[in-house]
Amino acid sequence: MLLGGAALGVAVSGAQADELSALKAQLATLQNRVDQLESINPKDRTDRSGLPNSDGLITFHRGSDLGRDQSLDTRPGDYIPTDRGFTIAITPSADLPAPVHEVTLSGYVKGDFIYDTHQNLGDSFAASLISGGDDREQVRLHARQSRFRVRSKSETSIGQVNTLIEGDFFGGGGNQIVSNSSVFALRHAWGEWAVTPNITIRVGQDWTNFMNLFAYPDTVDFFGPTGIPFVRQAQVRLTYANGPLLFAVSVENPETDVAVGTALAGTLGVTTGTGCAEATGTNPCEAADNVPDFTARLQYAAPGGHKFEVSGVARSLRIDGDVAGGGVTGSDSTFAWGMMGAASINLADIATLTAVATYGDGIGRYTISGVFGSAVVAGTAASPNLQTIESWGVAAALGFGLTETTTMNVVLGHFDQTRNDIVAGQIDDLTTVHVNLWWQPASEFRMGVEGVWGNNDIVGAGTNDALRFQLGAEFYF
For residues 398 and 261, state if they share a domain.
yes
CA atoms within 13 A on the CB side of 464: 22
For residues 221 and 303, state if they share a domain.
yes
- Per-residue model confidence (pLDDT) at position 325: 60
pLDDT tens per residue across span 435-454 = 999 999 999 999 999 999 99
* Cα dihedral across residues 216, 217, 219, 221: positive or negative: negative
- Point out the least confidently predicted range of 90-94, 405-409, 462-466: 90-94
- Point out the least confidently predicted range of 148-152, 280-284, 298-302: 280-284
- CA-nearest of 77, 121, 216 to 456 is 121
pLDDT tens per residue across span 417-438 = 877 666 556 778 899 999 999 9
Confidence category of residue 12, pLDDT binned at 50, 70, 90: very low
For residues 240 and 387, state if they share a domain.
yes
Under DSSP, the state recorded for 21 is H
Q: Is residue 52 part of a domain?
A: no
Of residues 475 and 367, more confidence is placed in 475
Average pLDDT, integer, range 384-394:
91
Q: Does pLDDT of 208 surpass 90?
A: yes
Q: Is residue 378 part of a domain?
A: yes
- Point out the least confidently predicted range of 26-35, 197-206, 211-220, 377-386: 26-35
**Domain that residue 9 falls in:** 2-39
- Per-residue model confidence (pLDDT) at position 306: 96
Distance CA 44, CA 97 (A): 13
For residues 34 and 67, state if they share a domain.
no
Report the domain count for the chain. Answer: 2
For residues 347 and 415, state if they share a domain.
yes
Mean pLDDT of the chain: 84
- Per-residue model confidence (pLDDT) at position 451: 98
CA distances from 315 to 153, 425, 448 (A): 33, 29, 38
Asked if 474 and 446 count as a contact pair (C-beta separation under 8 A), the reply is yes
Which stretch of DSSP H or E encloses residue 23? helix 17-39
Q: Is residue 434 part of a domain?
A: yes
For residues 124 and 34, state if they share a domain.
no
For residues 351 and 420, state if they share a domain.
yes
Strand locations in 73-210 (E): 86-90, 101-116, 138-142, 147-156, 159-168, 185-194, 199-207
For residues 90 and 28, state if they share a domain.
no
- Per-residue model confidence (pLDDT) at position 72: 52
Distance CA 192, CA 190 (A): 7
- CA-nearest of 97, 84, 215, 243 to 151 is 84
